[in-house]
Every structure is written in C-alpha cells, then in structure tokens.
Amino acid sequence: MDCNFTEEELNIRNTIRQFARKEIAPFIDQIEREKKIPEDLIQKIMDMKITGLPFPEKWGGSEASFTSLLLAIEEMSYVYLPCMFYAVVSAMTAYGFLNYASDYLKEKYLKGLLTGSLKGAWAFTEPETGSDPKQLKAKAVKDGNDWILNGTKRFITNSGIADIAVIFALTEKGVTAFAVETQNPGYIVGKREEFLAFGGTDNGDIILEDARIEGENILGEEGQGFNILLGVEVFAKVVSCAGNVGLAQAALDYAVQYAKEKTHRGVPIGLKFQMTQWNLATMASKVAASRAFLYSVGAKMDKGENVFAESALLKIFTGAAAREVASDAVQVHGAYGLSKEYAIERIYRESKFNEVVLGTSEIQRVVAANALMKS
Ligand SMILES: Cc1cc2nc3c(=O)[nH]c(=O)nc-3n(C[C@H](O)[C@H](O)[C@H](O)COP(=O)(O)OP(=O)(O)OC[C@H]3O[C@@H](n4cnc5c(N)ncnc54)[C@H](O)[C@@H]3O)c2cc1C
C-alpha cells in the first residue's frame, strides 16, 4: 500500500528496510539467547538517525515527515521489534524536549538525542502505577533554585544506558517533568527486569535518592507534567502502532511461507485446507486494515491535526490485530509454531507485549470513550 508517499518517504522506507534486513536480522538469535543488544548495533541504529526523522533541522533532525518515521519503524519492526524500542524511546524523549523545553534545555539535550550522541529515557511508571498520575509517589521539593528528587521508577526502557532521562514527580503544584542527567549521583540504576519478550532491551528500575536538579531542568512549567505526558504519549503511541503493523506483516508472511512449504499428502496446506486459507485471508485483512489506519493517522499528524482520541483507537485496533494475526500464524504452523526454532514463536510473544506497553487497551478505551462522550 503506497498511499501517495513522497519520493523521500519511499527512499527512507527502502533505506531502513535494507538496513534492518542486513544489519539487524543476523543478530536476532544472538540477542534472544544473550538477552542483550550488542552496543555497536545500538550505535548503528542511532547512527541511522531514525529518531530525528520528523524533527527540525535546527535541532539536528532531518525535517522529514512524521509518516517517514512510521515507515522506518514499521520496517525495523518487521525484522525485529525490540530494536525499534531504542528509537521510539529516544524519539519520545526528544519530542518532549522539542515541544515543552526551553531553548537552553533544547540546546543541551535535544541536539544530542536527535543526532544519536545521547540516549534518552522517559520515566513515568512506578511500582504502584503505570496508568494513574494521581498515584505517583516520586516527589520533588524545592531547595533554593534547585529541586531534590526522591522516588522509584519501574519498567523504564533505557534506564541503564540513557544519558538523559525525563522523570515525572509530584511537586506542590502537581505532576512535574524533570530533565535528569543519568550521571547525577542521585540517579541509581536498580534491578533489571526480564519479560515475556524484548529480552535484549535495557529495562529496569531507576532509584532517585536526593537527586539534586537545577531549577532550569524542568520541562514546561511546574505542575504541567500530566499534559506533557499526554502530549508525548500520543506521538509515542502512534509510533508504537507502526511496530504493530510491521510485526503483523511479518507474522502473515511467515504463515504464508509455511503454508506453501508444509504439505499434506503432497499438497501445500495453504492450497488444501480451507481452514488454513480462512486463517490466512483473515490475517491479511487485519494487516491491511491496520496499515491503512496507521497511515491515515500519520497523514493527519503531518497536517498538524489533533489525533488524541484516534491514537487511542489506533492502539486498540492495531494492538489486538497484531496479537490475533500472530496467534493465527502460530496456528498455521501447528506444533512448529510453538518451537523456538521458528520466528513466529518470538513474534507471538512480542505481539502481546506491544499491546500492553505505552498504555493498556483498557486505558485506551477510557480515552477514546471519553472523547466520544464529549463529541
Ligand atoms: C518492556 C516495558 C517497557 C516499558 N517502558 C516504559 C518506559 O520507558 N517508561 C515508562 O514510564 N513506563 C514504561 N513501561 C510501563 C508501561 O507503560 C506500563 O506497564 C503500562 O502502561 C501499564 O501500566 P501498569 O503495568 O502499571 O498497569 P496498571 O496501571 O497497574 O494497571 C493494571 C491493570 O488495571 C487496568 N487499569 C488501570 N487503570 C484503569 C482505568 N482507569 N480504567 C480501566 N482499567 C484500568 C489496566 O488496564 C491493567 O489491566 C514499560 C513496560 C514494559 C513492560
């Protein structure tokens, strides 16, 4: 589906497609085994400057369209979803700086995030909540011009490798977003988490122990943190849905390939069994619908339209579609679909994973339904 993409968008898609297939694919087994993405591969991903695609040149971006970023993430995720996570987390951190930070903070951090010399982290979730800002426990108190930050953040991607983290904490005026350098002696990397999937990504706790933050290192104003969170999550959510589309396409392609190769009494199962054909056709319809929905939201973002409610619908739809397509693809593979020898086993785990992170489907339904009720 080409949706009248510009030549630049098609070139970006092609470049990232080749990069992912040549540079990332050969490492997948090693990463899954060792649960670590090699440092030089992370650097290569950062060097592709995917993060900076839709950002202004002034701050080190490429001034490409937002759609270009979606196409790049879709291609990366088609090959290996976990690798796109680095780009997404750095991009959302950069998006936070671009839209809410002072020029002083942009100069200090945004350029580095967009050119690949700095890695970012975005830390909202805590041991007791990932959905409700009212339950945040991390606190910041004023000390002269500085802030003193204490608390624990959980499930934070890039927690151990980031250079700069945006940390959400409560102050007297509400949730506030702080830019915290990870070299700060009060920034302590806690236990690393192991998950159903994404074994190679860096994820874990951040413990803030009397971290002293300069007064200038606030994004927006004191108390504006929740709005910043919502604004950045729209961007990140749509980008993560490009991951769902890439993943679903990969699941479909593996299923079709298997249905051609696996024979029953000499005939490929994809030609012989109507149930297998049913599965393949259903999967293909969900992939096509997800992709069309993704590109339409991308086009609206490129026009500067507000997609707050639509981003929630997109996450609900593409998240479920990717999981269902991956599940059906396992089914087409039979017992081999459960074997670690086959990529579809990993893709199935990744699909469930991507449905939960960046806001569960229940929260997305709350957002979408509230918007409907206000319309
Ligand atoms: C690998 C990984 C990477 C992550 N990276 C980051 C990161 O970089 N930064 C970050 O801040 N977080 C990160 N997270 C956290 C992730 O975004 C949250 O886990 C997710 O948003 C869900 O939050 P929770 O687990 O605390 O669920 P909870 O908020 O505790 O919810 C538990 C259940 O209750 C439901 N629920 C909660 N509130 C409502 C409601 N109002 N209405 C209906 N149902 C509700 C939820 O849908 C869910 O089913 C990451 C998580 C993982 C697994």
Prediction pTM value: 0.94
Query: Ligand 1: distance of its center to the CA of 128 in Å?
Result: 10
Kindly state the tokens that stand for 74. Answer: 């879709």
Q: Which residues contact 368 (CB under 8 A, 6 or more apart)?
A: 309, 312, 313, 316
Give the number of the atom of ligand 1 that is nearest the alpha carbon of residue 358: 17
pLDDT at site 263 = 97
Best mutation site among 37, 84, 363, 364 for ligand 1, i.e. most ligand atoms within 8 A of its Cβ?
363
pLDDT tens, residue by residue, 12-64: 999 999 999 999 999 999 999 998 889 899 889 888 889 899 999 999 999 99
Average pLDDT on 351-373 reads 94
Q: Tokens 């490129």: give the residue.
A: 302
Give the number of the atom of ligand 1 that is nearest the alpha carbon of residue 366: 42
Of the candidate ranges 97-106, 131-140, 346-355, the one whose mean pLDDT is the lowest: 131-140
Q: Does 341 score more than 70 pLDDT? A: yes
Query: For atom 22 of ligand 1, which residue has the closest CA?
Result: 130
Kindly state the tokens that stand for 98. Answer: 């671009």
Residues paired with 208 in a beta bridge: 151, 187
**Which among 166, 288, 308 has a CA at the least distance from the CA of 237?**
308
pLDDT tens, residue by residue, 232-262: 999 999 999 999 999 999 999 999 999 999 9
Ligand 1 surroundings by CB, under 6 angstroms: 89, 122-125, 129-132, 155-157, 195, 198, 203, 357-360, 362-363, 366
Q: Which domains does the chain have, with CATH numbers?
A: 7-115 (1.10.540.10), 120-224 (2.40.110.10), 227-374 (1.20.140.10)
pLDDT tens, residue by residue, 150-190: 999 999 999 999 999 999 999 999 999 999 999 999 999 99
Give the number of the atom of ligand 1 that is nearest the alpha carbon of residue 359: 21
**Which among 281, 174, 258, 269 has a CA at the least distance from the CA of 218?**
174
Average pLDDT on 206-223 reads 97
Give the number of the atom of ligand 1 that is nearest the alpha carbon of residue 360: 47
Return the DSSP state at 193. P
